[in-house]
Chains A and B, each alone.
Chain A
Amino acid sequence: MKYAFPLAAVIALVLIALIAVQIPGMQYLFGVAIPYLAMALFLGGFCYRVIHWAKSPVPFKIPTTCGQGYSLPWIKHNKLEAPVNASQVVARLFLEIFLFRSLWRNTKATVYDGPKLTYESSKWLWLFGIMFHYSFLVVVVRHMRLFLDPVPWVVSFLETGDSLLQIGAPTMYTTDVTIILALLFLFGRRLMNPQVRYISLVNDYFPLFLILGIVTTGILMRFFLRTNVDINAIKQLAVGLATFSPTIVADISSLFYVHLFLVCTLLAYFPFSKLMHMGGVFLSPTRNLANDSRMKRYINPWNPDIRPHSYAGYEDEFREDMIEQGIPVEKELPPKAND
């Protein structure tokens, strides 16, 4: 039942926005003040988290290697799995970030009678994970048509591609379908898979429900509850926000404010949640370090500065005390000048 609380929280957020915007004047709070606050929290919190991470030293070189490391010339080196230089590390990070390579290795463990434990490749998480992330990216870039005036060709090109199927009017977006499917799979996986269900926490369910809420309100606004969803008034508000002169010119549907409020919640919540893997993937030592610990000496950055202290130096420092205590010394005290 760990999903009950986050579900209730998202429903509460929807109701808050839905009811509050009925009060005159609250449109300005939900349309202008909260978006600015959320964006400031997002950017500030994101930078804070990354700098906070950058302040933590990495005591050991700990790259994950899943292939043959660099060794003798006749042993084939796996450059992606055991990178030894910067360009190989960049290649590995690139594939990790753009193709989710480590999820591709996901396996499913099953126990049969015997008992017999088997592992088999399970690519569903990879498929729906990458589907979700790329759909979300396209959705975000597509929304730039509301923030940028004139609309750059990249945005309209992407939008044309996304609505290429020309189903219905306004045309259906392919990413709307894929993001919903992917979210439902990612949620279903947490319910159905006993191991994953066991380790799933409130902060795993909350972002899923929140993004599902954002997507649902967005789809409702575009296709079903179109009354008062005045796209020009919305664009005027969005461009106004980006140019620091926001205006709310028309009576926009409260569904729009719900959508916006959920997005603001996501932005504000982002830096304080697991969603920070967006920045964290670049900073994970197991991914971004080269497997060159046998070629270059890696020095723990928090090592104190310990100078070598030879016995001769030690005796020089304590000779008088040593003689006084009767400890044998290698070099006697120099004769006193007035003797």
Chain B
Amino acid sequence: MYDSGKIIPGLIIFVLFITIPIWYNRGAAGSVPKPVLPKDAKTCVLPAAEIRAEHMKLLNTWRDEVLRTGDRGTFEIEGKPYQKSLMMTCMKCHTSKKQFCDTCHVYASVKPYCWDCHIAPVE
């Protein structure tokens, strides 16, 4: 083998670089997020699987309808009217941002810009 003095260190750097996830986590699988669900409410505005996958799209639609087209109409679930609002509808049941929103968002490094305009509840 020629130039092993340069090639072997280069390969070691490459392997260390690729295996960053192994030595960064140091074998600890980390804590899994456990969002605290509201105790009194049983149903959300959409079925659980759907709201989990689509909540950001729904919030965006609400924002566009309410703020950009000025349509502040309500929608009904099981006979009860709800507003298209993050603070008045979502946060009414999911009262804690830290114990609900942030648990998953921090774990998956998602930074929604809701709180650029909305004031987060003081916790």
Interface residues of A (CB under 8 A from B): 42-43, 46-47, 50-51, 54-58, 144-152, 155-156, 159-160, 166, 168-170, 226-232, 235-236, 238-245, 249, 279, 282-283, 301
Contacts and interface: CB of A to CB of B under 8 A. Distances in A.
Contacts of A144: 20-21
B25 A279 contact: no
Contacts of A155: 109
Contacts of B20: 144, 148
Contacts of A57: 2
Given A57-B2, A169-B57, A145 B109 contact: yes
Contacts of B88: none
B107 to A, nearest CB: 6
Given A50-B7, A243-B22, 5 more contacts: A54-B1, A57-B2, A148-B20, A230-B52, A240-B29
Contacts, number: 102
A279 B109 CA distance: 31
Residue of A170, A227, A228, A242 with highest tally of chain B CB at under 10 A: A242
A245 B27 CA distance: 8
Contact of A231 (B15, B50, B54, B108): B108
Interface in B3-27: 3-4, 7, 10-11, 14-15, 18-22, 24-25, 27
Contacts of B21: 144, 147-148, 238-239, 241-242
Residue of A51, A54, A226 with highest tally of chain B CB at under 10 A: A54
**3 tightest CB-CB pairs across the interface, nearest first?**
A242-B21, A149-B30, A147-B21
A232 B107 CA distance: 8
Given A43-B18, A50-B7, A236 B32 contact: yes
A54 B7 contact: yes
B14 A228 contact: no
B18 to A, nearest CB: 6
B53 A301 contact: no
A124 B49 CA distance: 45
B33 A232 contact: yes
B66 interface: no
A55 B108 contact: no
Contact of A239 (B30, B52, B109): B30
A223 to B, nearest CB: 9
Nearest to A42: B18
A54 B7 CA distance: 8
A243 B108 contact: no
B113 interface: yes
B90 interface: no
Contact of B24 (A43, A148, A159): A148
A232 B27 contact: no
A245 B7 contact: no
Contacts of B4: 54
Contacts of B110: 170, 231
B87 interface: no
Nearest to A279: B14
A160 B15 contact: no
A160 B111 CA distance: 8
B60 interface: yes
A243 B109 contact: no
Given A232-B108, A235-B108, A148 B25 contact: yes
B39 to A, nearest CB: 22
Contact of A232 (B18, B22, B24, B104): B104
B101 interface: no
Contact of B108 (A56, A145, A240, A301): A145
